[in-house]
Structure 1
Amino acid sequence: MSKYLLNKFLFTVDRDPELVERYREQPRATVEWWEAEYGNRILGCHTGESSTWLRFDDTEREALATHDHPKLFELGAHPFLTLTLFIAMFERDYAEPLGFQLEYARRLSHHDLPYPDIAT
């Protein structure tokens, strides 16, 4: 398991409006494509430098592919990264103000302190 890689995925997708839409519409394909193309690139490097060992495990890949933010939280993904990305993807689906944020909070409300470790 790599909290670093989970957070890197959430961060890089959130920074690109086209990737946000791609991830919303084709999550599984986007996760597979991103892992193959960008997962091993060193953060901040567009080409050239990369590592050879970073891969999502099956649990991480499935949580990302199904937009399962409670599972991502349990796996240690930073809640700020999941919240900002998922607001960009799903806020438009809610009629009431803060609709997605309230749903996000409701789906995480079963967690008690201490929360899962989000340190990378």
Structure 2
Amino acid sequence: MSKYLVDKFLYTVDRDPDLVERYRTAPRETVEWWEQSRANEVLNCHSGEASTWLRFTDSERAALIDHDHVALFELGAHPFLTLTLFIAMFERDHGPLEYQKAYGARLAHFSMPYPDIAT
């Protein structure tokens, strides 16, 4: 599993409003496109450098496609990255703080120590 790659996806998508909307409305297509075209770019590097080996596992890909923040947390995705992206995608569909409270409630069954979020 590559927690780094999942966190990189969450980070890069969250910073582009067009990608946020694309991921909200077409998650499968966005995840597949990003994995093929952006996953191997060196983060914050504009020199054209890239790697060739980074790929999501099947469980990571499924959790991203399903917008399943609980599964992403279980896999070790950083909860702050997931929360900020998911707020951008779904807060508009809820009242004030409703989405954030529901997000937290779905994670309430976890007890410490939480899954390792180090990359």
Q: Is the CA contact (8 Å cut-off) linking 1:41 and 1:47 kept in structure 2?
A: no
CA RMSD across the alignment: 0.8
TM-score (norm 1): 0.97
Partner in structure 2 of residue 111 of structure 1: 110
Higher mean C-alpha displacement, 38-47 vs 55-64 = 38-47
Secondary structure of residue in 2 paired with 1:51: coil
**Rounded Cα–Cα distance in structure 2 between residues aligned with 1:30 and 1:47:** 24
Instruction: Within 5 Å, give how 1:1-120 maps onto structure 2.
Output: 1-46=1-46, 48-94=48-94, 96-120=95-119
Give the number of aligned pairs. 119
SS in 1 for 2:82: helix
| Matches of 2:46 and 2:3, distance apart in 1 | 21
Three-state SS of the structure 1 residue aligned to 2:44 is coil
Deviation at residue 100 of structure 1 after TM alignment: 0.6
Q: Which runs of 4+ in 1 moved over 3 A?
A: none
| 1:45–1:59 distance in 2 versus 1, CA, 3 Å | same
Structure 1 gaps of 5+ residues are none
Q: 1:63 to 1:47 in 2, by over 3 A?
A: farther
Looking at structure 2, the residues matched to 45 and 33 of structure 1 have their Cα atoms a distance apart, in angstroms, of: 19
Offset, 1:71: 0.3
1:47, distance to aligned residue in structure 2 (A): 5.4
| CA apart distance, 1:45 | 2.2
Question: CA deviation digits over 1:51-98, x for unaligned, max 9?
Answer: 11100010000000000000000000000000000000000111x210
TM-score, with length taken from structure 2: 0.98
Write the letter of the residue equivalent to 1:26: A
